[in-house]
């Protein structure tokens, strides 16, 4: 019994010693911190200022890469996608560093900070290797917006509705002009020139910062019928779609892979109305999550002002009463992932 007890004591000592070594290694691992102060999005492409700390010598270079999580419409779903938001370098000074860059809009940003040996001066490379060990990358998630965003969402949604009306009107003019081959040949050139300007306007529109899925939906649709204008086809003088002479006159499809006709193209434009409303609803969910479920008066006011809007009316009452524990399930419904899952199950049957 004494030998067995002694053996257990030795094992316990070894285990404790191992734990202490592991703990010491974790404590000795090079630490790097990062934080930011959200800018105001009342101006276009504001500057994001980030500050951090790292216990390395002055002159050590850090590589910084940013990605922004934006919304994208994919069929019936609205899904988050990562969009590159720039990259660059900064130097450590006094165990601190800073980095600033212009950003397109609010949202969750993923920031990657890296130590790259080849970027360091020779006398600093040895220090980096010694202090950092195998650790060369750090990743941070930053919620880059503040309380002042919510009051902007409702007016911006109204602006989006106006932009959709402009797009709808342009599509009607294209459809009317293409009613006959003779009329199309007479009106195509100036109409396409106007259409190209509108495509450029949508591509750089400031509303993409707040409602990217809806604005991109408009952009892709208009680009689709404007870029294919030279390839419109007619039978008996009437519009029949478009064909690509580069591909043996194969019939052109829409960017969604459907038949190229005005019914489909106009439907895409109308679908951006509820998509924009759902993006508005997602912003409410995101902001409630950011503040641990604090239902501020400006949130209630924003919901009330858009409670009848397509894409908002379905969830307005639940959004105005949502608690932190309900946000995940609410987000799933707004994104449409439950609908998509049911559709897939139906397809299997």
Domain boundaries, the chain: 32-144, 150-343
If one compares 349 and 174, the residue with the highest pLDDT of the two is 174
Q: How much is the average pLDDT of 196-220?
A: 97
Higher per-residue pLDDT: 226 or 134:
226
Fold of 32-144: Immunoglobulin-like (2.60.40)
Q: What percent of the chain has pLDDT over 90?
A: 81
Q: Does the structure show a pLDDT above 50 at 344?
A: no
46 pLDDT more than 50: yes
Confidence bin at 133 (pLDDT 50/70/90)? confident
pLDDT for res 307: 97
- Tell me what pLDDT residue 349 has: 47
Through-space distance between the first and last CA atoms of the chain, rounded to whole angstroms: 67
Cα atoms found within 13 Å of the Cα of residue 224, Cβ hemisphere only: 25
The dihedral region occupied by 232, where left means phi > 0, alpha psi between -120 and 50, and beta the remainder, is: beta
* pLDDT band at residue 305 using 50, 70 and 90 as cut-offs: very high
More confident residue, 80 or 20: 80
**Cβ–Cβ under 8 Å, residues 61 and 91:** yes
Q: Determine the 3-state secondary structure of 300 from DSSP.
A: helix
- Stretch among 52-66, 144-158, 266-280, 332-346 having the lowest mean pLDDT: 332-346
Q: Across the chain, what does the average pLDDT equal?
A: 89
Task: Note the pLDDT of residue 24.
Answer: 41
The alpha carbons of the chain give a radius of gyration, in whole angstroms, of 28
| Mean pLDDT, rounded, for 294-307 | 97
Say if residue 45's pLDDT is above 80.
yes
pLDDT digits (tens, 9 = 90+) for 1-18: 444 444 444 444 444 444
Residue 298 has pLDDT above 90, yes or no: yes
Which of the four pLDDT bands, split at 50, 70 and 90, describes residue 284? very high
Please say if the pLDDT value at position 23 is more than 50: no
Instruction: Please write the tens of the pLDDT for every residue from 238-254.
Output: 999 999 876 677 899 99
Q: Where is average pLDDT lowest: 27-36, 78-87, 192-201?
A: 27-36
Count of CB atoms within 10 A of residue 230's CB? 10
pLDDT band at 328 (very low <50, low <70, confident <90, very high): very high
CB neighbour list of residue 152: distance below 8 Å, 6 or more residues apart: 41, 42, 210
pLDDT band at 28 (very low <50, low <70, confident <90, very high): low
- What does each C-alpha distance from 259 to 31, 122, 262 come to in angstroms? 56, 61, 9
The predicted model scores a pTM of 0.85
- Per residue in 97-129, pLDDT (tens digit) is 999 999 999 999 999 999 999 999 998 999 999
Distance CA 323, CA 186 (A): 59
| Opening angle at CA 234, ends 231 and 238, nearest 5 | 135
Angle between helices 150-177 and 297-305 (to 10 degrees): 20
Q: What is the pLDDT of residue 250?
A: 87
């Amino acid at each position: 019994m004494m030998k067995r007890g002694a053996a257990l004591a030795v094992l316990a000592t070894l285990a404790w010693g191992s734990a202490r070594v592991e703990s010491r290694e974790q404590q000795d691992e090079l630490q790097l911190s990062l934080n930011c102060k959200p800018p105001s999005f009342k101006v276009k492409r504001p500057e994001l200022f980030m500050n951090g700390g790292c216990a390395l010598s002055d002159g050590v270079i850090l590589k910084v890469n940013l990605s922004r999580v934006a919304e994208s419409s994919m069929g019936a779903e609205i899904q988050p996608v990562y969009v590159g938001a720039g990259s660059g370098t900064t130097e450590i000074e006094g165990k601190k560093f800073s980095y600033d860059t212009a950003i397109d809009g609010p949202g969750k940003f993923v920031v990657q900070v890296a130590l790259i040996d080849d970027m360091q001066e020779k006398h600093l490379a040895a220090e980096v290797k010694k202090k950092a060990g195998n650790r060369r990358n750090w990743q941070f998630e930053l919620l880059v917006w503040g309380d002042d965003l919510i009051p902007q969402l409702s007016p911006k949604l109204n602006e989006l509705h106006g932009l959709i009306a402009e797009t709808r009107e342009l599509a009607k003019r294209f459809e009317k002009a293409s009613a006959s081959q003779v009329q199309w040949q007479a009106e195509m050139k100036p109409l396409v020139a106007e259409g190209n300007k509108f495509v450029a306007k949508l591509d750089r529109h400031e509303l993409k910062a707040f409602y990217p899925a809806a604005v991109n939906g408009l952009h892709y649709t208009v680009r689709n019928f404007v870029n294919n204008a030279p390839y419109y086809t007619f039978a008996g003088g009437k519009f029949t779609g478009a064909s690509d002479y580069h591909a043996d006159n194969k019939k052109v499809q829409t960017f969604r892979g459907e038949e190229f006709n005005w019914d489909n193209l106009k439907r895409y434009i109308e679908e951006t109305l509820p998509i924009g409303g759902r993006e508005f609803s997602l912003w409410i969910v995101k902001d409630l999550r950011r503040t641990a479920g604090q239902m501020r008066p400006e949130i209630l006011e924003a919901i009330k002002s858009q409670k009848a809007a397509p894409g908002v009316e379905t969830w307005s009452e639940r959004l105005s009463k949502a608690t932190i524990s309900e946000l995940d399930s609410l987000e799933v419904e707004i994104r449409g992932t439950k609908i998509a899952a049911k559709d897939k199950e139906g397809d299997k049957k």
